[in-house]
Chains A and B, each alone.
Chain A
Amino acid sequence: MIPELGHFCLILALLCAGVQSFVPQLSARAAKAQFVFCAAALLLLVVCYLVSDLSVVNVVKNSHTLKPFLYKISGAWGNHEGSMLLWVALLSLYGFLMSGRAPVTAVRTQGLTGFGFLSFILLTSNPFGRIHPPPVDGNDLNPLLQDPGLAFHPPLLYMGYVGFSVAFSFAIAALREGKMDQAWARAVKPWVLFAWTALTAGIGLGSWWAYYELGWGGWWFWDPVENASLMPWLLGTALLHSVMVVKKREALKRWTALLAILTFSLSMLGTFLVRSGVLTSVHAFALDPARGIFILGLLGFFTGGALLLYALRAHLLSSDATFAPVSRESSLILNNLFLAVIAATVFTGTMYPLVLQALNAGAISVGPPYFHRTVLPVAVPLIALMAAGPFLPWKKAEMRGVAQKLKLSFAVSVCAALAVFAAATPHPGFSALGIGLAVWLVTGTLAKWAAHAGLPEQSLKNAWPRIRHMKASHWCLALTHAGLGIAIAGMIGTGPWTQEKLEVLEKGQTMDIAGYALTLEDVAPAFGPNYRALRGQVKVTPPGGNDFTLHPEGRYYPVAEKTTVEAAIRTSWRNDIYIVIGEQDSATEGFAVHAWIHPLVPLLWLGYTVMVLGGLIGLAGRKNEKTG
């Protein structure tokens, strides 16, 4: 009964989406109804998982009666059908929230997108299909996905992806009406900021998961699926900044429209890449060419249609705003240029292997060497500019005044870079540049924040009221920019400074890494609710510190017939000690112990958190400024 009800809700949602897009008079009301039915369908699917309804194919394939409670809920979207349902439910939520305050064309566009993706679900990926007779128990969720970080990763990521649909719909409305003004930018900016914040949180959670669950000792692998989330983030960041230019100066209108279209298109492309089976990667999802063709058709229709509209109508969005070569506008254009170049580079690196595969030249991988050599040189000037940009006034700026204000930051970051160089860390030149940039960005941003507070001219006591009443947008700028700076320091720590060692140890043997002595004291079997494990006991003796014990595990999930490694990680402010235990070596009876020392890794997570916090404050403050 419950699955049929869910299926029925989906059909009703499809009808509502149709009404929303084709009957302008009813579109706002239909948007509400579409959301109600989509949410109900999602809820009903979760109920099927919670009661382990084994007559539903989707539950059988991805769940198990013994699975922990949290993963029963997250299992509902830990698979293709369920995740598409989540995607559409979020799309309809955005449609519902924007329906009262957006141009009718935008609400209709949102409805059309919902119509397309709901048809996709109903025609190729129904999550409510039954199976008869029902099996005794389910196949379990892919054990790699049974992790708290990953339970919340898809909802956040999708909130970001799908959030850009609002900007897309607004851009379509602007193109259709041939009008984009400050009011348009004011209306669209919070949506973009929200989507950006959610996407940042989603990517952060995803890389955190990759770091401690995959057991590969890294957090970003330039895997196509990761790139698929990075590309909308890059263009979304560009969009966030170009919308500000429209809001202040009514300039960059055509570019903003194009960015809005491309950002959501890349979000859809991300869905397409992950869902269609074009990619083979660590991201374990079912492969199905029919679905690929359908999503490609949707992508072709929405992106192609939007770009056609752009080709026909973009010339209407002209602007008379002028500004000097050195000004806030120019710095934001440079920001957009760099971000777009990075996005295009990542796009090329991600799609080139796929294009070759399409031309029947085989599936190859260009890998991190390509991305490091192409992305980093463009990221350096972008980050260097990020500290200076906020100091530039609109229209026309004086270079000398800006240089004056950043003098101290510059001096501090050069000192930091020299100190790193002198300390002769691994890859000294590159690390010095990275740390120098990180310090430059954090201190430069701090200087801007201080200037908003009236510091250092005022005493802290006098500045305090100004800090308390500082505009949310200033906090938002300070936290997001500084957060990136903090994260960059963490990236240098986990990148060039990381140390790695792999040895086969028998019980009682010791290995050394970076002054730490690791002793394999014992390996014993252990049991979890739906897995069994080999649990290592590794005594770690830090240089001149107190001993502690870590417990890396190798888990075997009998139902899914999969093995995973659970890294044991000890975090301190200085570094992470990261240990993975492998299988028993048949020749020596020893176990492969793989250890990493990752300096500064907590800064990476802190950086992500600060960025997300900045986004949230920007959103919350916007409300207060309006009502207060």
Chain B
Amino acid sequence: MKKPDKKIFYVLPLLFFGILVLIAAIDLTMDKTPNPYHANLIKEVPAFDIDGLSDADFGDAPAVVNFFASWCTPCVAEHPVISDLADEFPVYGINFMDTDEGRRSFLSRLSDPYRKIGIDAQGIAAAAWGISGIPVTFIVRKGKVLYRYDGPVTPKDADSILRLRLKEAAE
């Protein structure tokens, strides 16, 4: 019961590999500045209501919404930057798919910079905000999403992007 060989199948691993190499090459060579494109992904603060936080909590002043979890290494990295931001602007935390012990341990070990924390154990709020991984940080004002920042906020970007936009929004 010998079938004629479909040689084309044997090329698939090579094709798949080629695409990955291409992506990696782009990654290594490109200039890493955050993508302004994301500002357009969602324009309105989505309606959500999770344990500890809902869309009604944000008020009218410009605010920061930061998704974090204790298992997320980049979140640990950005924590000092978020804490500094919290000295100047209201920062709300959404704890993404975490355990109670994990969250408590994270906050007690690193400090708790958040004005309020929403507990999003099932990722419901994350789905509403349209994110698929963390950390992600949003700037919101009066029900509008002004900016989305993916990945750990670097001290440089906190000054040159987030603070700048928050100040603009306050005016």
Contact = CB atoms under 8 A, between A and B. Distances in A.
A304 B28 contact: no
A429 B98 CA distance: 20
A296 B105 contact: no
B151 to A, nearest CB: 3
A221 B77 CA distance: 16
Given A353-B133, A363-B74, A364-B151, A307 B13 contact: yes
A500 B21 contact: no
Contact of A311 (B13, B28, B73, B151): B13
A594 B70 CA distance: 15
Interface string A316-349: 0010100000000000000000000000000000
A582 interface: yes
A378 interface: no
Interface in A294-320: 296, 299-300, 303-304, 307-308, 310-312, 314-315, 318, 320
Given A357-B151, A502-B104, A365 B21 contact: no
**Which of A221, A282, A315, A358 lies at the interface centre, i.e. has the most chain B CB atoms within 10 A of its CB?**
A358
A265 B17 CA distance: 10
Contact of B71 (A282, A303, A320, A367): A367
A362 B35 contact: yes
Contacts of B123: 369
Given A364-B151, A368-B71, A354 B27 contact: yes
Classify chain B: how many residues form its interface, as a range. 35 or more
A265 B101 CA distance: 38
A258 B28 contact: no
A426 to B, nearest CB: 11
A364 B13 contact: no
B97 interface: yes
Nearest to A316: B5
Contacts of A594: 105, 109
Interface in B1-23: 2, 5, 7, 10-11, 13-14, 17-18, 20-21, 23
A595 to B, nearest CB: 11
A365 B74 contact: yes
A1 interface: no
Contacts of A307: 13-14, 17
B38 A361 contact: yes
Contact of B73 (A261, A281, A318, A369): A281
A46 to B, nearest CB: 32
B97 A304 contact: no
B70 to A, nearest CB: 9
Interface string A100-140: 00000000000000000000000000000000000000000
19 contacts: A221-B71, A292-B28, A293-B29, A304-B14, A304-B17, A304-B21, A318-B2, A353-B133, A354-B23, A356-B133, A358-B24, A361-B150, A362-B35, A362-B136, A364-B133, A365-B71, A365-B72, A365-B73, A367-B71
Interface of A: 221-223, 254, 258, 261-262, 265, 276, 278, 280-282, 289, 292-293, 296, 299-300, 303-304, 307-308, 310-312, 314-315, 318, 320, 351-369, 500-502, 582, 592, 594
Q: List the 7 shortest-distance A-B pairs measured between CB atoms, nearest first.
A: A362-B150, A358-B27, A364-B133, A362-B151, A363-B151, A307-B14, A369-B97
